[in-house]
Amino acid sequence: MQRGSFRLMKSVNKSIILNKIRTHEPISRAQIAKDTKLTPPTVSSIVKELIDQGIVIESDSGQSMGGRKPTMLHINSKAFYIVGVDAGPERIECILTDFAGNIVNRSSAKLALPISNDQFLSILKKSIRDVINEIPIGDREIMGIGIAMHGVVDVSKGTSLIAPNLKLTNIPIKEELETEFNVMIKVENDARAMAMGESWFGGHGELDSMVAVNLGRGVGAGMVVNGKLFHGAQNIAGEIGHMTIDINGEVCECGNRGCLQTFATGSAIAERARKKLEDMANPITPTAEVVFELAKSGNTAYVGILHETGMIIGIGLTNLIHLVNPRKIVLGGGVMKSQAYILPAIHQTIEERILTPKAKKTEVVVTNLGEDATLLGAVSLLLEEFFYPVS
């Protein structure tokens, strides 16, 4: 198995042609030239290079318009393999995928607290080695490794600045993994990685703007604009979990009061259930999962808690729509397992509070990728570098 020989395409034209093939395959050389305004000789020359490199393959599936059938082009899904990692806060999950995002292998390792930076990195490296080495992929190249990390990430340096649930700071993930594996390493906040996963693999079509919101142990979001992640000036774009919903609310882990995160996480739902139901004759110790199961059994008190959660999330999403006005919002994370109760309340709240009728066109849906959304997002960090023109 080859590692480390892959280098990014630095030709903008090459990236344009690759992306055109990816999004419209099968496609002919003539159609690429027509759509991209590149000259036919330029297209033919670059396509030949891509075929020689094994990145693009040909087929005779084109329909004749009176002459001979055109040769059609496809991305070779077996050209490279990519490792995607969802790192923490409870486990390190890894997948190995082909160039099309098809999952070839998985590995998983538990993180036990307390943990040090060195211990975290050691488990991370072993998990990646396991997912690569367990599958014989022959003489194929590992294109790179994408890491989706919870907390605040310095994307340019590939460093985890703050991993609050692990109580770790300044983890040099990119530096350590580059030394260990000698391939390209991309490190991103997990919610933003999830947004990329939705953009690439979520089946949402070509959108000029989309926001993905992860509702689980924390609340975070990522925004994709024209195929690229938006990070903000200091890499904190998307931290909607710390949007203030109630200035007199509970104290958040960030130190502020009434953040969306104090209402919309699994633990926040369980705590609200405990407080509201503590006067019951035989109170239980609720978790978000228990609240959902009791709601499904017809317990109206627990149904009400989930409806209230949906209303609060809807307020946060209304603020988000007013601020960035995306075409679509995709919701994921463990909390959305209760979508049957939460999603209708979200839709109703947005309907009641949105500023203009046209703003109601922002579609709010639940991910189709399930628990793999963040892992596939980590994979897409490498695909973004490969397919999109260098800015």
User: Does residue 52 sit in the same domain as residue 98?
Assistant: no
The arithmetic mean of pLDDT across residues 54-64, rounded, is: 76
CATH code (residue 275): 3.30.420.40
* CA atoms of 177 and 304, how far apart (whole Å): 47
Confidence of residue 283 (pLDDT cuts 50, 70, 90): low
Q: What is the CATH number of the domain that holds 16?
A: 1.10.10.10
- 354 in the same domain as 340: yes
Q: 16 is in which domain, residue-wise?
A: 2-75
Mark whether 236 and 355 lie in a shared domain. yes
Q: Give the confidence band of 56 by pLDDT, cuts at 50, 70, 90.
A: very high
The number of distinct structural domains making up the chain is 3
Q: What is the pLDDT of residues 5-38, one digit of tens each?
A: 444 444 788 888 988 898 888 999 999 999 999 9
Please say which residue of 75, 105, 138 terminates a domain.
75
Confidence class for position 68, pLDDT limits 50, 70, 90: low
pTM equals 0.83
Find, among 102, 153, 146, the residue nearest to 124 by Cα. Answer: 146
**Do 230 and 352 sit in the same domain of this protein?**
yes
